Amino acid sequence: MKKVTVHVTLKQGVLDPQGKAIQTSLNSLGFQEVEEARVGKYIELYIGETEDVEARVKDMCAKLLANPVIEDYEIDLEEAVRS
Amino acid sequence: MKKVTVHVTLKQGVLDPQGKAIQTSLNSLGFQEVEEARVGKYIELYIGETEDVEARVKDMCAKLLANPVIEDYEIDLEEAVRS
């Protein structure tokens, strides 16, 4: 089984209200040094035997995991884990 | 300004309904090889001048960004970015 991690982030320039809320909350909690916060998703996939894992995961991102209009994604293949 | 990234993930053993929904959806879209999916948050913080950034960010995680009862967090300090 392979572990693949996917980071889905908003494209530069897209407003991030959740990030803005985090920044404001941190500021009011006394963390004035926080100038900006951006929030994305982090997805771990455990994938069984298949050919060309990277292409398959790209396809998953395009079809379900990310919204390519406003989001970017980054795929990292990790070493095989548990069998 | 420093960039710090934080990964917030559910602790092992904690049910992840969002991850389960992703796994089921991917399976029914034809990606039968996906055996498990886990979802977490990925937060980018841009932090101005301050002492001991790592300790400050740990404090932010404990107070706002993560729920230490069910979530783990991992902090990565990156190189300084834009001034």
Structural domains of chain B ordered from first start = 2-80 (3.30.1280.10)
Length of chain A (residues): 83
Rounded CA gap, B15 and B55, in Å? 29
CB spacing of A43 vs B37 below 8 angstroms: yes
| Chain A with chain B: Cβ pairs closer than 8 A | 102
Rounded CA gap, B32 and B53, in Å? 43
ipTM here = 0.90
| Cα of A23 to nearest chain B Cα, Å | 8
3-state secondary structure of A29: coil
pLDDT digits (tens, 9 = 90+) for B13-51: 999 999 999 999 999 999 999 999 999 999 999 999 899
CB count in 10 Å sphere of residue A55:
11
Model confidence at B79, pLDDT cuts 50, 70, 90, reads confident
Rounded CA gap, A18 and A26, in Å? 12
